[in-house]
Structure formats: C-alpha cells, structure tokens
Amino acid sequence: MENYDKLLNDLAPQKFGKKGVIWTTILVVLTIAGIIAYIDQVIKGQVVTNMNDYALWGVYISNFVFFVATSFVGTVTVAVLRLTKNSWRTPIVRIAEIISVSAIIMAGITITIDMGRPDRLLNLFIYGRMQSPITWDVIIIPTYITISLLLLYFPLLPDFGLLKKHFKEKKPKLSKWYGKLSLNWTGSEAQKAIQTKSIKIIAILIIPAGFMLQTIDAWLFSTLFRVGWDSTNLGAYFISGASVAGVGALVSVAYVLQKAYKLEDYITDYHFDKLGKFLVLVCLVYLYFNLNEYLIPQLTSKKEATTHINVLLTGQYAPLFWFVIIGGLIVPIIALMFKKGRKPLPMFIIGLLVVVTSWWKRYLIVTPTLLHPFLPIQGVPESWRHYFPSIHEWLITIATLAMALLIITILVRYVPIIPIQRTADEQEQLRTGKNLES
C-alpha cells in the first residue's frame, strides 16, 4: 500500500504553480481575443477575412484539417500500440488520449467558424444529404469525439476511485466529484472484467473510426476537380500525415508535462527513445506518400499539375514548401535515426518542429490549389490572386489553438497524467515476474 501512496503523491493532480497560472491566463486571454474577433466576423460577415471567391477557403479550413490530423494520435498510439502489445505505451497513453479529445473537439468548433451562416447549423441535420462529404464529416466527428472521450474515461475509472480516497480528508469537495466520476469504482473482479472488456471494445472501435475520420477529411478535397486535390493518393496521404502530426504533438506535450510535473521517473529516456523510433517510422511512411503526391504528377507533367507543383517547388510557395518538407520530414528522419537524437530535449525540439510544419503543411494543401483554377482569374480585384490570412483570421486561429491547449491544461489539472492503477499493477507484476495480459 505504501507503493500506492508514493504513486499518488507523485501522480495525483496538483494545483497550478506560478508558471501554470501565467500559462493558463495567457491562454484565456488569447481565447477571449479570438472570441471577440469571431463576434465581429459574425456581425460584419466574412469580409473581415482575406478570403475571396477564388481563395474561398483559407486558414480556417487548414487549421481544421490540422486539428483533425492531430486527433489521430489517440488512434495511432493507444490503439495501434495496444494491438501490437507494446507495453512501453503505459505512461504516455493518457497524454495521447487527452490530446486526441482536445484536438477533435476543437476540430468540430473550427469548422463552424468557416461557415458563412453559423446560425443555420441545424440545416445540416434538417436537410442533410448523404451524398455530400460534409455530411460524412458531420457524422464521423461527433462519433470520434464520443469514442475518444470514452477511451479517455474508461481507463480513468480506477484512478478516480483512488483519487476519491486520496483527497477524502484534504479536499472533500473534490473527492466527492472524483467519487461520482469513478461510478462507484471498488476494484472488484466483476468491475474489472467489465472495464477491461469495455476498453478493449473502444480501443478496437477507435481504429476504424480514426481511419474513417482522416479519410473523410481527405475526401473533402479529393472529391473535387481541383488540381492538387483530385488525387487517389489523398486518403492514405492524410492518414500518414495525421500520424506524423499526432506523434509530434504527443512528443512535445509529453516533454512539457515531464518537466512541469517532474515525472522523470515515469516518462523516461527509454520512452522518448521508443517514441522517437515510432516518429521516424511514421515520417518515412509520410515521405513515401509525399513522393507519390508531388513526384509522379511532375513526371507525367500535365499542364495544370506542373503549374500547381512548380508554384510549390520553385514558385511563390517554395520557401514554405521546403521548410515543411525539410523541417517536417527530412530533419526528423535524419535526427531520429541516431540515439542521441532520441534524447528528451532533441526530441522535444523535433516534436515542436513537426507540429509547426504539420500546421503549415495543411495551409499548403488548401491555399495554392485554390489559386490555380481551371479558368484564369480575371475580372476580380488584383488582391484576389493571392491569399494570406487577415488579423481577424489570425486572432481566431490562434484562439482555437489556445483553446486546444487550454482543454489539455484543464484536463491535466484534474486528471492523473500517468495511469496510477495501471502503473501500480505493472510494478506489482514486475515484482512477481508475471506479464501483463492486456
């Protein structure tokens, strides 16, 4: 039992320190600034953005795609590592689940920001038609939110039970909440059996749901005629890209939490080493699909395709494109091949780089394609031939990113980052020399 005491002391949610308060305040301020900008957008219309009839989608959509991609981390780490029975996942699964929940909720919010008539949101349900990829999105996003929440919640039940006891004297109110959330968890064999089974079902369910989510997201583009989107490669390309974005986000957040909560005993160099190998694997897969996406059309060199790709390779978007390819793929692949590159600090830097380039990658998927329609751009203001987000768009986009971090921060504040019960079980098993079955 002293084993539990040490774990609980280390891992039970703690109050924010000074840094935590400052961090949260900044996020709240950014969020409020974004909300004000959004209200202004609703009043004046989307004229406050720099979108136009040619660049008809902008940073809102690419930001949405980024959130959807990042939410894939739940599928890729929890479920895939679980199916392949990689036991090193224990201390990082909860972080992955938290990122996943936060990202997919924000994806749902972000997509409505792009709507010209958010007041008519209900029309999607009243008049919804199955043939539209948007309707598929309307179905899969709430589904994925539900599954992600359950995947976060079910493994938490025993931990909530432990926390209820832990806070009983110190904070009776908080303890009561944990008690309610634990659904009267006692740790009986019957409860454990139900819990294990439920987690198993959800962990398997999230795989097809996650793949569907990413694929539908890709189909939003590949069902259209536009050059650069009209590609059969896009579904697989998005899934592999989402794995990169998700694992990158996981590495970054894991490092910050390790430092902020002094979890060096739990999230060790070993885990970063493993995560590094995982990241290099998904990067290599993504590189493969990138070659398919950019190199093959260049070889057949259809006029529209080469125009589009040359804008990326050597034209207006070349600096951004090469930053994304080198920073987001080449550098991680090379650095992570070496053991030194997989130490926590270099991993953190690479993780951040991967997240930033993933975000810009989505921008490059959405914007340049729209600026090269089939018919020439004529008869519209000169400014319509370019696109760069306006102040309103930046404020709102930054606010959505801040809100995602805020959701993570709040969850981390009240939920144990490392699964306590499972860690205890594993330590117990290590002592007795048995292997964990699930």
Partner 1 sequence: MEDQNKNSRRKFLDKGLKLGLATAIGGMAISKISKLSAKSNTSNGEFVELMTTDGTLIQVDASEVVEIVHTTDPDKKYNVREGKPNRKYVMVIDLAKCKNALKCQTACNKHHYITGDHAWLKVYKMQEDEDTAPYWMPTTCMHCDHPACVTVCPVDATFKRRDGLVLIDNERCIGCRFCMAACPYSTRVFNWSEPNQGDMLMDMKMEGSCHSSPEYAGLPSVKGTVDKCDFCPHSIDKGELPHCVTACPNGVFYFGDKYEDTVTNGDETLRLTKLLADKSGYRLLEGLGTHPSVYYLPPVDRLVDFKEGLESFTDFKSVDKPE
Residues forming contacts to partner 1 in the complex (CB under 8 A) are: 44-47, 49, 51-54, 56-57, 114-117, 120-121, 123-124, 126-129, 131-135, 138, 220, 223-226, 370, 373-382, 384
The CA-atom distances, in angstroms, between 329 and each of 69, 73, 349 are: 16, 18, 14
What minimum distance in Å lies between the beta carbon of 201 and partner 1? 31
What minimum distance in Å lies between the beta carbon of 162 and partner 1? 45
What minimum distance in Å lies between the beta carbon of 298 and partner 1? 21
Minimum CB distance to partner 1 smaller for 134 or for 201: 134
Distance CA 150, CA 147 (A): 5
Minimum CB distance to partner 1 smaller for 224 or for 318: 224
Distance CA 422, CA 159 (A): 9
What minimum distance in Å lies between the beta carbon of 383 and partner 1? 9
Minimum CB distance to partner 1 smaller for 117 or for 431: 117
The CA-atom distances, in angstroms, between 434 and each of 91, 320, 431, 437 are: 19, 51, 8, 9
Minimum CB distance to partner 1 smaller for 20 or for 133: 133
Residue type, 390: S
Minimum CB distance to partner 1 smaller for 220 or for 405: 220
Find all residues with CB under 8 Å of 117, minimum gap 6, and list them.
Answer: none
What minimum distance in Å lies between the beta carbon of 377 and partner 1? 8
Candidates 43, 31, 61, 142; CA nearest to 367 is 61
Minimum CB distance to partner 1 smaller for 227 or for 407: 227
DSSP result, 12-73 = S-----HHHHHHHHHHHHHHHHHHHHHHHHHHH-GGGSS--SSS-S-HHHHHHHHHHHHTTH
| Site of tokens 């259809």 | 302
Residue type, 71: S
What minimum distance in Å lies between the beta carbon of 325 and partner 1? 25
What minimum distance in Å lies between the beta carbon of 54 and partner 1? 7
What minimum distance in Å lies between the beta carbon of 403 and partner 1? 22
Proportion of the chain in helix, strand, coil states, percent, rounded to 5: 75, 0, 25
Q: Rounded to the nearest 10 degrees, how much is the dihedral formed by the CA atoms of 363, 368, 374, 376?
A: 130
Minimum CB distance to partner 1 smaller for 24 or for 223: 223
Distance CA 222, CA 203 (A): 29
Distance CA 103, CA 90 (A): 21
What minimum distance in Å lies between the beta carbon of 126 and partner 1? 8
Reading the block at residue 276, the tokens are 């590094």
What minimum distance in Å lies between the beta carbon of 241 and partner 1? 20
Helices (runs of H) and strands (runs of E) counted in the chain:
19, 0
* Exposed e or buried b per residue across 369-384, where buried means at least 16 C-beta atoms within 10 angstroms of its C-beta: bbbbeeeeeeeeeeeb
Distance CA 320, CA 366 (A): 13
Minimum CB distance to partner 1 smaller for 220 or for 354: 220
Please say whether the beta carbons of 245 and 311 come within 8 A. no
Find all residues with CB under 8 Å of 337, minimum gap 6, and list them.
Answer: 280
Minimum CB distance to partner 1 smaller for 128 or for 187: 128
Minimum CB distance to partner 1 smaller for 297 or for 416: 297
Minimum CB distance to partner 1 smaller for 46 or for 63: 46
What minimum distance in Å lies between the beta carbon of 363 and partner 1? 16
Reading the block at residue 43, the tokens are 């009043």
